[in-house]
Amino acid sequence: MVLQLPNQLNQQASVNTLSIKSLILGSSGYVGSELIRLIEMHPDYELTSVVSESHSCKKVSDVFPHLFLTKKNQIFDNFESYLNNIDAGDNIAIFSAAPHGKSALLISRVLSELSNKASEIRVVDSSADFRFSSKEEFKKIYGFDHPKPDLLKHFVSGAPELININQEKYAAHPGCFATAVSLSIAPLVNSNIVTNEFFINAVTGSTGSGKRPKENTHHPERHSNYFAYKALAHRHAPEIESHIKTRTTQNVKVNFVPCSGPFSRGIYSTCFAKLTQPFSKNEVISLYRDFYSKSIFIRIKNDPPRIKDIVSSNYCDLSFSVNGYDLVITAAIDNLIKGAAGGSIQLMNKLWGLNDCRGLQSSSVPWT
Protein backbone atom coordinates (compact mmCIF):
# COMPACT_ATOMS: atom_id res chain seq x y z
CA MET A 1 0.00 0.00 0.00
CA VAL A 2 1.21 3.52 -0.82
CA LEU A 3 0.51 5.96 1.97
CA GLN A 4 -0.12 9.58 1.03
CA LEU A 5 0.54 11.66 4.12
CA PRO A 6 -1.45 14.88 4.57
CA ASN A 7 0.59 18.05 4.74
CA GLN A 8 -0.12 18.25 8.44
CA LEU A 9 1.87 15.07 9.05
CA ASN A 10 4.95 16.34 7.27
CA GLN A 11 5.64 18.52 10.28
CA GLN A 12 7.44 17.29 13.39
CA ALA A 13 4.57 15.10 14.54
CA SER A 14 6.20 14.16 17.83
CA VAL A 15 6.40 17.83 18.86
CA ASN A 16 3.46 19.59 17.25
CA THR A 17 -0.12 18.78 18.19
CA LEU A 18 -2.13 17.13 15.44
CA SER A 19 -5.90 17.16 15.17
CA ILE A 20 -7.03 13.57 14.79
CA LYS A 21 -10.66 12.64 15.32
CA SER A 22 -10.94 9.38 17.23
CA LEU A 23 -13.67 6.80 16.91
CA ILE A 24 -14.01 3.80 19.25
CA LEU A 25 -15.98 0.73 18.13
CA GLY A 26 -17.22 -1.63 20.83
CA SER A 27 -16.65 1.05 23.43
CA SER A 28 -18.73 -0.25 26.34
CA GLY A 29 -16.41 -3.02 27.58
CA TYR A 30 -13.38 -2.87 29.86
CA VAL A 31 -10.92 -2.16 27.03
CA GLY A 32 -13.32 0.37 25.53
CA SER A 33 -13.58 2.26 28.81
CA GLU A 34 -9.79 2.44 29.09
CA LEU A 35 -9.55 3.69 25.51
CA ILE A 36 -12.04 6.45 26.39
CA ARG A 37 -10.04 7.44 29.47
CA LEU A 38 -6.66 7.42 27.73
CA ILE A 39 -7.75 9.11 24.49
CA GLU A 40 -9.40 11.88 26.49
CA MET A 41 -5.94 12.71 27.91
CA HIS A 42 -4.09 12.43 24.58
CA PRO A 43 -2.91 15.76 23.12
CA ASP A 44 -3.46 14.74 19.47
CA TYR A 45 -6.62 12.62 19.54
CA GLU A 46 -10.05 14.24 19.82
CA LEU A 47 -12.56 11.74 21.21
CA THR A 48 -15.26 12.26 18.60
CA SER A 49 -17.49 9.17 18.81
CA VAL A 50 -17.83 6.18 21.09
CA VAL A 51 -19.97 3.63 19.30
CA SER A 52 -22.01 1.01 21.15
CA GLU A 53 -25.24 -0.39 19.78
CA SER A 54 -26.14 -1.94 23.15
CA HIS A 55 -25.73 1.37 25.02
CA SER A 56 -26.78 3.80 22.29
CA CYS A 57 -27.85 7.25 23.55
CA LYS A 58 -26.79 6.49 27.12
CA LYS A 59 -24.32 8.80 28.80
CA VAL A 60 -20.81 7.40 29.03
CA SER A 61 -20.69 8.51 32.65
CA ASP A 62 -23.86 6.51 33.43
CA VAL A 63 -22.24 3.30 32.15
CA PHE A 64 -18.77 4.18 33.50
CA PRO A 65 -19.22 6.43 36.56
CA HIS A 66 -15.46 6.74 37.01
CA LEU A 67 -15.38 8.77 33.76
CA PHE A 68 -17.86 11.37 35.07
CA LEU A 69 -15.42 14.27 35.35
CA THR A 70 -13.96 13.91 31.87
CA LYS A 71 -17.00 12.84 29.83
CA LYS A 72 -19.99 14.48 31.51
CA ASN A 73 -21.99 14.96 28.33
CA GLN A 74 -20.54 12.30 26.02
CA ILE A 75 -23.10 9.75 24.88
CA PHE A 76 -22.68 6.41 23.16
CA ASP A 77 -23.38 6.73 19.44
CA ASN A 78 -24.93 4.13 17.18
CA PHE A 79 -24.05 3.47 13.55
CA GLU A 80 -26.66 5.92 12.37
CA SER A 81 -25.31 8.88 14.33
CA TYR A 82 -21.51 8.68 14.47
CA LEU A 83 -21.07 10.00 10.91
CA ASN A 84 -22.55 13.33 11.99
CA ASN A 85 -19.29 14.00 13.83
CA ILE A 86 -17.04 13.42 10.79
CA ASP A 87 -16.29 16.06 8.15
CA ALA A 88 -14.66 15.65 4.76
CA GLY A 89 -10.88 15.75 4.94
CA ASP A 90 -10.64 14.86 8.64
CA ASN A 91 -7.75 12.81 10.00
CA ILE A 92 -9.44 9.82 11.64
CA ALA A 93 -8.16 7.23 14.12
CA ILE A 94 -10.40 4.17 14.43
CA PHE A 95 -9.94 2.02 17.53
CA SER A 96 -11.87 -1.23 17.72
CA ALA A 97 -12.46 -3.00 21.01
CA ALA A 98 -15.30 -5.09 19.59
CA PRO A 99 -15.47 -8.87 20.21
CA HIS A 100 -13.54 -11.41 18.14
CA GLY A 101 -15.40 -12.19 14.92
CA LYS A 102 -17.42 -8.98 15.04
CA SER A 103 -14.63 -6.44 14.97
CA ALA A 104 -13.64 -7.11 11.35
CA LEU A 105 -17.23 -6.63 10.21
CA LEU A 106 -17.56 -3.32 12.06
CA ILE A 107 -14.22 -2.03 10.79
CA SER A 108 -15.16 -2.97 7.23
CA ARG A 109 -18.51 -1.19 7.57
CA VAL A 110 -16.98 2.01 8.94
CA LEU A 111 -14.24 2.10 6.30
CA SER A 112 -16.90 1.75 3.63
CA GLU A 113 -19.06 4.49 5.14
CA LEU A 114 -16.08 6.85 5.42
CA SER A 115 -14.78 6.13 1.92
CA ASN A 116 -16.37 9.26 0.44
CA LYS A 117 -15.00 11.61 3.12
CA ALA A 118 -11.55 12.03 1.50
CA SER A 119 -10.07 11.44 4.95
CA GLU A 120 -6.75 10.08 6.14
CA ILE A 121 -7.68 7.00 8.22
CA ARG A 122 -5.68 4.74 10.52
CA VAL A 123 -7.09 1.66 12.27
CA VAL A 124 -5.96 -0.31 15.32
CA ASP A 125 -7.90 -3.44 16.26
CA SER A 126 -7.51 -4.98 19.72
CA SER A 127 -9.57 -8.08 18.90
CA ALA A 128 -8.09 -11.27 17.42
CA ASP A 129 -9.53 -10.69 13.95
CA PHE A 130 -6.32 -9.45 12.33
CA ARG A 131 -3.59 -11.10 14.40
CA PHE A 132 -2.94 -13.76 11.76
CA SER A 133 -2.06 -13.02 8.17
CA SER A 134 -4.05 -15.80 6.50
CA LYS A 135 -7.68 -16.87 6.68
CA GLU A 136 -6.59 -20.52 6.92
CA GLU A 137 -4.49 -19.86 10.01
CA PHE A 138 -7.30 -17.84 11.58
CA LYS A 139 -9.83 -20.64 11.04
CA LYS A 140 -7.43 -23.23 12.43
CA ILE A 141 -7.06 -21.28 15.68
CA TYR A 142 -10.58 -19.87 16.12
CA GLY A 143 -12.68 -22.55 14.45
CA PHE A 144 -14.72 -20.34 12.11
CA ASP A 145 -14.20 -18.56 8.81
CA HIS A 146 -12.69 -15.11 8.91
CA PRO A 147 -15.52 -12.59 8.42
CA LYS A 148 -13.52 -10.23 6.17
CA PRO A 149 -10.54 -12.08 4.67
CA ASP A 150 -10.03 -9.37 2.02
CA LEU A 151 -8.82 -7.01 4.77
CA LEU A 152 -6.17 -9.35 6.22
CA LYS A 153 -3.41 -8.30 3.83
CA HIS A 154 -3.77 -4.67 4.89
CA PHE A 155 -3.01 -5.29 8.59
CA VAL A 156 0.31 -5.65 10.37
CA SER A 157 0.24 -7.27 13.82
CA GLY A 158 2.55 -7.28 16.83
CA ALA A 159 3.48 -5.61 20.10
CA PRO A 160 4.48 -1.96 19.46
CA GLU A 161 8.09 -2.61 20.52
CA LEU A 162 8.39 -5.55 18.12
CA ILE A 163 6.75 -4.12 15.02
CA ASN A 164 8.05 -1.91 12.23
CA ILE A 165 5.57 0.53 10.73
CA ASN A 166 6.50 1.57 7.22
CA GLN A 167 3.59 2.59 5.02
CA GLU A 168 0.90 0.58 6.80
CA LYS A 169 -2.35 2.23 7.79
CA TYR A 170 -3.88 -0.63 9.80
CA ALA A 171 -2.49 -2.57 12.76
CA ALA A 172 -3.69 -5.31 15.10
CA HIS A 173 -2.68 -5.48 18.75
CA PRO A 174 -1.72 -8.89 20.18
CA GLY A 175 -3.59 -10.54 23.02
CA CYS A 176 -2.58 -9.63 26.56
CA PHE A 177 -0.80 -12.95 27.26
CA ALA A 178 0.90 -12.76 23.87
CA THR A 179 2.12 -9.24 24.62
CA ALA A 180 3.79 -10.18 27.91
CA VAL A 181 5.36 -13.37 26.57
CA SER A 182 6.52 -11.97 23.23
CA LEU A 183 8.24 -9.05 24.97
CA SER A 184 9.89 -11.58 27.31
CA ILE A 185 11.41 -13.89 24.70
CA ALA A 186 11.94 -11.83 21.51
CA PRO A 187 15.42 -10.53 22.51
CA LEU A 188 16.59 -14.09 23.21
CA VAL A 189 15.38 -15.50 19.91
CA ASN A 190 16.72 -12.51 18.02
CA SER A 191 20.18 -13.03 19.56
CA ASN A 192 20.32 -16.80 18.97
CA ILE A 193 21.42 -17.59 22.52
CA VAL A 194 18.61 -20.00 23.47
CA THR A 195 17.09 -23.19 22.18
CA ASN A 196 13.84 -22.03 20.65
CA GLU A 197 11.49 -23.95 22.91
CA PHE A 198 9.93 -22.15 25.85
CA PHE A 199 7.86 -23.28 28.82
CA ILE A 200 5.56 -20.55 30.09
CA ASN A 201 3.24 -20.11 33.03
CA ALA A 202 1.22 -16.89 33.10
CA VAL A 203 -1.54 -15.73 35.41
CA THR A 204 -4.17 -13.13 34.54
CA GLY A 205 -6.72 -11.10 36.46
CA SER A 206 -10.46 -11.45 35.99
CA THR A 207 -10.78 -8.46 33.64
CA GLY A 208 -8.92 -10.51 31.05
CA SER A 209 -12.13 -12.41 30.33
CA GLY A 210 -14.11 -9.29 29.49
CA LYS A 211 -17.05 -7.47 31.01
CA ARG A 212 -19.71 -10.11 30.44
CA PRO A 213 -19.90 -12.46 33.47
CA LYS A 214 -18.80 -16.07 33.03
CA GLU A 215 -18.59 -18.95 35.49
CA ASN A 216 -14.81 -18.76 35.90
CA THR A 217 -14.79 -14.97 36.23
CA HIS A 218 -17.59 -14.90 38.83
CA HIS A 219 -16.23 -13.33 42.04
CA PRO A 220 -16.88 -16.33 44.34
CA GLU A 221 -14.92 -18.52 41.92
CA ARG A 222 -11.95 -16.13 41.56
CA HIS A 223 -11.67 -14.78 45.09
CA SER A 224 -8.84 -16.48 47.06
CA ASN A 225 -8.48 -18.96 44.21
CA TYR A 226 -5.91 -19.88 41.56
CA PHE A 227 -6.32 -22.38 38.75
CA ALA A 228 -4.97 -23.30 35.33
CA TYR A 229 -7.12 -23.51 32.22
CA LYS A 230 -6.59 -24.55 28.58
CA ALA A 231 -3.13 -25.87 29.45
CA LEU A 232 -1.09 -26.40 26.24
CA ALA A 233 -4.20 -25.49 24.23
CA HIS A 234 -4.60 -21.72 24.60
CA ARG A 235 -4.96 -19.72 21.38
CA HIS A 236 -2.31 -17.22 22.42
CA ALA A 237 0.43 -19.86 22.05
CA PRO A 238 0.27 -19.99 18.23
CA GLU A 239 -0.14 -16.22 18.23
CA ILE A 240 3.13 -15.83 20.15
CA GLU A 241 4.88 -18.23 17.79
CA SER A 242 3.57 -16.34 14.76
CA HIS A 243 4.61 -12.91 16.06
CA ILE A 244 8.07 -14.08 17.10
CA LYS A 245 8.64 -15.60 13.66
CA THR A 246 7.54 -12.34 12.02
CA ARG A 247 9.98 -10.35 14.18
CA THR A 248 12.97 -12.74 14.07
CA THR A 249 12.24 -15.06 11.08
CA GLN A 250 12.83 -18.00 13.45
CA ASN A 251 10.45 -20.78 14.42
CA VAL A 252 9.80 -21.20 18.13
CA LYS A 253 7.83 -23.70 20.18
CA VAL A 254 5.75 -22.30 23.03
CA ASN A 255 4.41 -24.61 25.74
CA PHE A 256 1.92 -22.39 27.49
CA VAL A 257 -0.09 -22.85 30.68
CA PRO A 258 -2.38 -19.89 31.46
CA CYS A 259 -3.83 -19.44 34.94
CA SER A 260 -6.56 -17.36 36.58
CA GLY A 261 -5.57 -15.34 39.62
CA PRO A 262 -7.56 -13.71 42.43
CA PHE A 263 -7.09 -10.11 41.28
CA SER A 264 -8.93 -7.92 38.78
CA ARG A 265 -6.22 -6.65 36.44
CA GLY A 266 -2.68 -7.52 35.50
CA ILE A 267 -0.66 -10.37 33.98
CA TYR A 268 2.33 -12.07 35.55
CA SER A 269 4.31 -14.24 33.18
CA THR A 270 7.14 -16.67 33.97
CA CYS A 271 9.10 -18.00 30.98
CA PHE A 272 11.62 -20.85 31.22
CA ALA A 273 14.35 -20.99 28.57
CA LYS A 274 17.52 -23.02 27.88
CA LEU A 275 20.65 -21.09 26.99
CA THR A 276 22.95 -22.51 24.33
CA GLN A 277 25.91 -21.55 26.55
CA PRO A 278 26.17 -20.15 30.08
CA PHE A 279 25.59 -16.42 30.47
CA SER A 280 25.69 -14.29 33.60
CA LYS A 281 22.64 -12.36 34.73
CA ASN A 282 24.45 -9.10 33.93
CA GLU A 283 25.11 -10.29 30.38
CA VAL A 284 21.43 -11.13 29.92
CA ILE A 285 20.40 -7.75 31.32
CA SER A 286 22.83 -6.03 28.95
CA LEU A 287 21.34 -7.91 26.00
CA TYR A 288 17.80 -6.80 26.92
CA ARG A 289 18.83 -3.21 27.58
CA ASP A 290 20.42 -3.06 24.12
CA PHE A 291 17.41 -4.66 22.43
CA TYR A 292 14.95 -2.30 24.13
CA SER A 293 17.21 0.77 24.20
CA LYS A 294 14.59 2.87 22.38
CA SER A 295 11.56 1.37 24.13
CA ILE A 296 10.51 3.68 26.94
CA PHE A 297 7.81 1.33 28.24
CA ILE A 298 10.14 -1.63 28.87
CA ARG A 299 11.71 -1.49 32.32
CA ILE A 300 14.49 -3.90 33.25
CA LYS A 301 14.41 -4.74 36.96
CA ASN A 302 17.01 -6.34 39.23
CA ASP A 303 14.30 -7.92 41.36
CA PRO A 304 11.19 -9.79 40.17
CA PRO A 305 8.45 -7.41 39.02
CA ARG A 306 5.20 -6.88 40.91
CA ILE A 307 1.69 -6.49 39.55
CA LYS A 308 0.98 -3.46 41.73
CA ASP A 309 3.92 -1.59 40.19
CA ILE A 310 2.41 -1.63 36.69
CA VAL A 311 -1.38 -1.49 37.23
CA SER A 312 -3.03 1.26 35.15
CA SER A 313 0.25 2.00 33.31
CA ASN A 314 1.62 1.11 29.86
CA TYR A 315 4.83 -0.36 31.27
CA CYS A 316 6.18 -3.88 31.01
CA ASP A 317 8.56 -4.80 33.83
CA LEU A 318 11.06 -7.60 33.16
CA SER A 319 13.56 -9.43 35.38
CA PHE A 320 15.82 -12.46 35.05
CA SER A 321 17.23 -15.39 36.99
CA VAL A 322 20.15 -17.39 35.57
CA ASN A 323 21.66 -20.69 36.71
CA GLY A 324 24.09 -22.22 34.23
CA TYR A 325 22.10 -23.02 31.10
CA ASP A 326 18.76 -22.26 32.76
CA LEU A 327 17.15 -18.85 32.32
CA VAL A 328 13.88 -17.56 33.78
CA ILE A 329 12.26 -14.35 32.54
CA THR A 330 9.48 -12.82 34.63
CA ALA A 331 7.23 -10.10 33.25
CA ALA A 332 4.37 -7.98 34.59
CA ILE A 333 1.92 -5.88 32.57
CA ASP A 334 -1.53 -4.42 33.00
CA ASN A 335 -3.70 -6.57 30.71
CA LEU A 336 -6.12 -3.70 29.98
CA ILE A 337 -3.43 -1.09 29.28
CA LYS A 338 -0.16 -2.54 27.96
CA GLY A 339 -2.04 -5.66 26.90
CA ALA A 340 -4.84 -3.82 25.07
CA ALA A 341 -5.89 -0.13 25.25
CA GLY A 342 -2.51 1.46 25.98
CA GLY A 343 -0.72 -0.76 23.49
CA SER A 344 -3.36 0.08 20.89
CA ILE A 345 -2.78 3.81 21.39
CA GLN A 346 0.97 3.17 21.17
CA LEU A 347 0.41 1.43 17.82
CA MET A 348 -1.83 4.26 16.64
CA ASN A 349 0.89 6.75 17.55
CA LYS A 350 3.27 4.80 15.32
CA LEU A 351 0.78 4.76 12.43
CA TRP A 352 0.52 8.56 12.58
CA GLY A 353 4.26 9.10 12.93
CA LEU A 354 3.94 10.26 16.53
CA ASN A 355 6.31 9.41 19.33
CA ASP A 356 5.41 5.99 20.82
CA CYS A 357 4.92 7.42 24.29
CA ARG A 358 2.68 10.30 23.22
CA GLY A 359 -0.21 10.58 25.70
CA LEU A 360 0.78 7.43 27.62
CA GLN A 361 3.36 8.43 30.19
CA SER A 362 1.24 8.19 33.30
CA SER A 363 2.47 6.46 36.43
CA SER A 364 0.93 3.31 37.79
CA VAL A 365 -1.60 3.43 40.62
CA PRO A 366 -0.24 1.58 43.69
CA TRP A 367 -2.20 -0.25 46.38
CA THR A 368 -5.13 -1.06 44.11
CA distance 127 to 140: 17
Cα-based distances in Å from 62 to 145, 246, 274: 36, 42, 51
- What stretches of 5-146 show up as alpha helix (H) in DSSP? 30-40, 60-63, 103-113, 135-142
Q: How many CB atoms lie within 10 A of CB 82?
A: 20
CA distance 326 to 344: 34
Query: Which among 20, 17, 16 has a CA at the least distance from the CA of 122?
Result: 20
Q: 151, 129 in Cβ contact below 8 A? A: no
CA distance 163 to 263: 30
Enumerate the active-site residues: 176
* Residue 154: Cβ-neighbour burial (10 angstroms; 0-12, 13-18, 19+): middle
